[in-house]
Structure 1
């Protein structure tokens, strides 16, 4: 059953409603998948349909301060109202990743099953039980770290279901070979290879964030941490595919935000969340 639960104490005056939904049992994942569904102001009194944002690592909503952020943006009328479907993770190291291929340590071995869950179970369930628009143009996916790779993989390969993706500190180092076995950036990063092999779809838009303190690793000793290098290299692959990218442009297909001092944590992601949400659900 789906129960209405109050917004956390940090958002005492929030006008959004958080609905805890434990009704969805996944066959491929063999577990009940908990959802926190955040409904926009006026949802209950309205009969209209709304855009939808699916978000990995939904258990982190409180640390992300999502209800407070949404309440503030709605009060400012900075975004279009939308339904947020926050998907609680379970075995995230295995369920997140790229559906086509696990990494060299066989992490992400259930990513294909997770993709099946999203496409064949979650989306139909949400369409049936919540008033959302069913067209790809109204559907967005987002994720953090390895969950960001999962979100990107989902959107890039399913433009018939989604139009936009948000990736916070994406783990685009995800690779098919270890450094001890002769790993090379040019050939062994899984997501970069999938983009090279993939197709261009004019409907897709991409939002990326990294922090300059996401990590300290620098594989090629160029003075730039790997998380930034890997993200920028992925953007380059998207540009080669035909997507547009111009620093500061609001019309380009790709937006990249780099946070000075930003870390690999929910506090940094919360700080930049309004930028992502106003990009994804800009007022028309």
Structure 2
């Protein structure tokens, strides 16, 4: 007797969640595989800057992975940023030198206290697999911060061209690398969150090289995040994956190409027997 294996097809639905913490309506796009039986291991991915989901080709990428039996069933939620993005994103409690990110704590509260319960209602099935949060650029920094401080809700984080430069002092004001906010937060934390990390950069993310070591700052800052994580006791490659894309730029096209390997890393399934 042969058992037919159904290939899920991703269904996209749009929702709006009225947030008390952000004091606005948050637009969401849910990407849920059809034909779920209710006994699957179901995973969750939250994506910052979800307004880029169409340009990323997220639905097509998910369908491609399902057709190749590459990933487990996954609920992906694209969270669209608002015009207040530069205030809602960042490191919670630590605005940068220009005061940006002063609503990052409110955004974290929205994710944990409002969005996660809303996802359960919308899906109607238990999220019993892995949960991850991801983002691009400043949204990637924010994803890292949220996961880092909420590992009881998340198992993994994906950062695409993360804004790890986020700093409390301007370059012209006697800046040193110790002024980078996220690196300091990692170093100060006394516990080691139970997390896995996928950190991506492109070799053409930018041209800035503040220490003139012939390595662009986005790569330098990401490598230094990895160094701080290693000091905490995380290991490579068991806990940390660094994905450097040759020719990759700071744009949606590059992140779309990197999305497929990230999804396999985060939600890959064992080969079918």
Pick the TM interval, shorter chain.
Answer: over 0.9
The answer to whether 1:101 aligns with 2:87 is no
- CA drift at 1:255: 0.2
Aligned-partner Cα distance in 2 for 1:48–1:93: 40
The TM-score, its normalising length taken from structure 2, stands at 0.92
Per-residue Cα deviation, 1:233-280 (whole angstroms, up to 9, x for no partner): 0000000011001xxx4xx10000101110000100111111100000
Q: Match for residue 109 of structure 2?
A: 116
Structure 1 282/179 Cα, relative in aligned 2: closer, same or farther at 3 Å? same
- Which runs of no fewer than 5 residues in structure 2 stay unpaired? 1-7
**Equivalent of residue 270 in structure 1, options 256, 259, 272:** 256
- State the 1:177 CA deviation: 0.4
Aligned mate of 1:60, from 46, 52, 56: 52
User: Residue 201 of structure 2 is aligned with which of 204, 210, 234?
Assistant: 210
Partner of 1:85: 77
Quote the offset at 1:48 in angstroms. 3.7
Q: Is the CA contact (8 Å cut-off) linking 1:141 and 1:166 kept in structure 2? A: yes
- Distance change (3 Å), C-alpha of 1:282 and 1:188: same
| Aligned position for 2:5 | none
Q: Does 1:177 align with 2:169?
A: yes
Equivalent runs, 1:159-198 vs 2, <5 Å:
159-185=151-177, 187-198=178-189
Q: Deviations along 1:12-52, whole A, 9 cap, x unmatched?
A: xx921001012x10011110111100001323xx2346211
Say if 1:62 and 1:26 are closer, same or farther in 2 by CA, change over 3 A. Answer: same
Taking the TM superposition and a 5 Å limit, the aligned residue runs for 1:216-255 are: 216-245=207-236, 249=237, 252-255=238-241
**Corresponding residue for residue 149 of structure 2:** 157
Q: 2:105, 2:182 → 1: CA distance?
A: 14
Runs of 4+ aligned structure 1 residues displaced above 3 Å come to 131-135, 199-202
Q: Residues 111-155 of structure 1: CA distance to partner in whole angstroms, max 9, x if unpaired? A: 0110111111111111222145456x6211000000000000000
Closer/same/farther in 2, CA of residues 42 and 201 from structure 1, 3 Å limit:
farther
1:20 aligns with 2:14: yes
Residue 281 in structure 1 maps to residue 273 in structure 2: no
SS at match of 1:261: strand
Q: Check conservation: 1:98, 1:149, Cα contact below 8 A.
A: yes
Say if 1:200 and 1:243, in contact at 8 Å, map to a contact too. no
Match of 2:120 in 1: 127
- Residues 261 and 132 from structure 1, CA distance in 2 versus in 1: closer, same or farther, beyond 3 angstroms? farther
Matched residue count: 261
RMSD (Å), alpha carbons: 1.4
Distance 1:242 1:101 in 2: 25
Q: Secondary structure at the match of 2:172?
A: helix
Q: Is the 8 Å Cα contact of residues 151 and 193 (structure 2) preserved in structure 1?
A: no
Question: Which of the residues 246, 255, 261 maps onto 1:260?
Answer: 246
